[in-house]
Structure 1
């Protein structure tokens, strides 16, 4: 029951995020005397709609975003005589940029506010925490069963036989540095049956220990055949990376954490096209990568897992991350993104400034008809990618807990 409640809560959080993004456009547009024709959550056929004043509010069938239709967003927009005085394209450039960035600003503020709340109640990750691969205990190596549990095993594992002790920090594998336990695990998984040299830091001293990596079996995917992977029989020591804050420290801590989150989000957006083949493969049964893109369906499912285990800080941090992603994704300088429209306004100002320097008159609003092919291609790619990720989230979802 808690799992279902978590799914519903996160889905509502996504819906609220989208609604507030579009509200950022709508209210700034109205503040500058622009006419908002339609405010929609979702795309495609209308599920429900009502009209209040000059604006139609609607819920559409495809929950992959939303839009705010402002009269005269381009000079090619057809306008009624009543709408003409409120056309967006006729407003000063700075007002148009404020309106176009209104949704992004709302998402940044909302994400920041959520993280402030998390920082005050549960704490935020400490950017200076020591997350190196510190050994908590050594153990025997065991096969992973189909249900995710470990098969019985006995005796000392390869790491213990080689002389690895609890408290040691594993700094390198075969001379190549490892940043944390996750990187160590991923490296060892690919080396079954090999002898590797572990770089060890022990009480300030540097050691090198040769370790024969055991080959153990684990399922290649949920319900898939077993494959051999490497294991050396070590478990990580607990790492306390969370720091709780009060009002005197939470704002700068949130700003620092938000900056790190923004950098990670930009890197993820840049890598997004390269992840498409992996999503396609996941649809046809391949193992789904942990960092695979997720749709609203997959994110809501993960939110359900977090609520089921009462991991509320992680739930809200994921919601904050979604807001930052939506803000930065919308700044891509191509139509139909907000960043694409902002880029056109900036282009108009630069173009007209150059013309004035040459003694020529300004040309006014840009002709968007030349950008329509780019807009259609980008819209088609977005819809296709969204449908693909939703399908992957249905047939092969990401699971945080097995």
Structure 2
């Protein structure tokens, strides 16, 4: 049964992956056609074609390797300075440029002169190239918000998990009561495990973060309203100042840092809690910020990744994962000892996270990524605006093809990184806990 569920999880993730890729390319395709650009091909996957069908002037198909997708647009790069589009140099760098330029026109047909990508205004080209990543962002936001507002998220609740027997400073890093320690305010007030705190000092409480803030701001007498065995009880506690864990603005503990604040003395129970729209948006914002931070820190994680792949080092929880690693995680999801609804929610979160990563990664201003073409179109706008202001001749389209040598270097780096992640995902994968 475990093997069957693992296979099911992998299949579900692969289907989500293929849909995400097709959704991304649909953004490019729809906007390209909207602006009259001819698109000969729309393909999901790479390698040999499994299925294809031509409709209008576009061939739609699925290829054997589900690791990406593409649409082919006519005239991605402008002709060279002499107006030619065929390779005409023995220089390897120039050859790269002219090979790319030639490929952009290899399916040119009569009448396509007015349907070339590079002839469209820069703002239209920006929309076409941005539409793909934006589709992934839309899908990620829709899934994240939908899951958080319907299934809920695993978080700390206002239900009591355990009550501290005595007052112990957080710096002590122990739950054992030293000799002569005073009973905790929660213990003295009669708070019990499984109590659900519904009000603090007469103010209704709906979430743990609000309760935690209220407790930390309070010293002295306080009224705590709890639900116990279906009935409400009002307890009175005398909160005292104590050294407690310090948290950052996102509610995450800061290791080794403590503050003096009001202390009650209990641990909250974890649970699945539906989020409001506002709470979901806040969490979504934190996820985007975390994704950007992870992308920035990606180069610094390569040594640990190498160590995990080849030297038997520990694979960290925040280690980069590729498609293979994510598929393995997807296989583990349906074997987690959690309710089926949470298995579905976790799988949806995995697909949403993949889409968010696709958006952020593709927005890097580097060729051959979408962000590189966007940067080229924006630079063309700047050049042409500068020429108009100073009454200089129109410089014409920015020749993105001249950046192809850089694109090959970038692609080479990405391929090497992808292979490193692949090895790590196979020999030392990230596992769910």
* TM category, shorter: 0.7 to 0.9
Aligned counterparts of 1:372 and 1:171: Cα–Cα separation in 2: 55
Of 66, 69, 72, 2:72 maps to 69
Name the residue aligned to 1:392: 424
Cα displacement string for residues 310-365 of structure 1 (whole angstroms, at most 9, x for unaligned residues)? 32222212221221111111111111111111111110011011111221121221
* Greater CA drift, 33-42 or 287-296: 33-42
Cα displacement string for residues 290-311 of structure 1 (whole angstroms, at most 9, x for unaligned residues)? 1001111111211222222232
CA contact (8 A) 2:373 2:400 kept: no
Aligned counterparts of 1:380 and 1:16: Cα–Cα separation in 2: 27
Name the residue aligned to 1:111: 140
SS in structure 1 at match of 2:269: coil
CA contact (8 A) 2:5 2:334 kept: yes
Aligned counterparts of 2:174 and 2:284: Cα–Cα separation in 1: 41
Cα displacement string for residues 162-184 of structure 1 (whole angstroms, at most 9, x for unaligned residues)? 47988799735xxxx56699968
Name the residue aligned to 1:336: 368
Superposed displacement of residue 84, structure 1: 2.4
Of 80, 89, 94, 2:109 maps to 80
CA contact (8 A) 1:137 1:237 kept: no
Aligned counterparts of 1:340 and 1:136: Cα–Cα separation in 2: 56
Aligned counterparts of 1:170 and 1:178: Cα–Cα separation in 2: 13
Name the residue aligned to 1:382: 414
Q: 1:244 to 1:72 in 2, by over 3 A?
A: same
* Greater CA drift, 158-167 or 59-68: 158-167
Q: 1:365 to 1:182 in 2, by over 3 A?
A: closer
Superposed displacement of residue 236, structure 1: 6.4
**2:265 is the alignment partner of 1:238:** no
**2:176 is the alignment partner of 1:160:** yes
Q: 1:117 to 1:382 in 2, by over 3 A?
A: same
Name the residue aligned to 2:40: 37
**2:294 is the alignment partner of 1:268:** yes
SS in structure 2 at match of 1:101: helix
Structure 1, unaligned runs of 5 or more: 139-156, 188-197, 207-234
Q: TM-score, normalised by structure 2?
A: 0.67
Of 330, 334, 339, 1:307 maps to 334
Aligned counterparts of 1:130 and 1:200: Cα–Cα separation in 2: 22
Superposed displacement of residue 60, structure 1: 4.1
Provide the alpha-carbon RMSD of the alignment. Answer: 3.4
Cα displacement string for residues 58-96 of structure 1 (whole angstroms, at most 9, x for unaligned residues)? 444544322221111221432333432210111122221
Name the residue aligned to 2:244: 171
Q: TM-score, normalised by structure 1?
A: 0.72
Q: 1:59 to 1:114 in 2, by over 3 A?
A: same
Cα displacement string for residues 90-144 of structure 1 (whole angstroms, at most 9, x for unaligned residues)? 1122221111111122112111221232133212577xx789xx97779xxxxxx
* Greater CA drift, 157-166 or 331-340: 157-166
Q: 1:130 to 1:392 in 2, by over 3 A?
A: same
Structure 2, unaligned runs of 5 or more: 79-100, 166-172, 188-241
Name the residue aligned to 1:289: 316
Aligned counterparts of 1:345 and 1:107: Cα–Cα separation in 2: 21
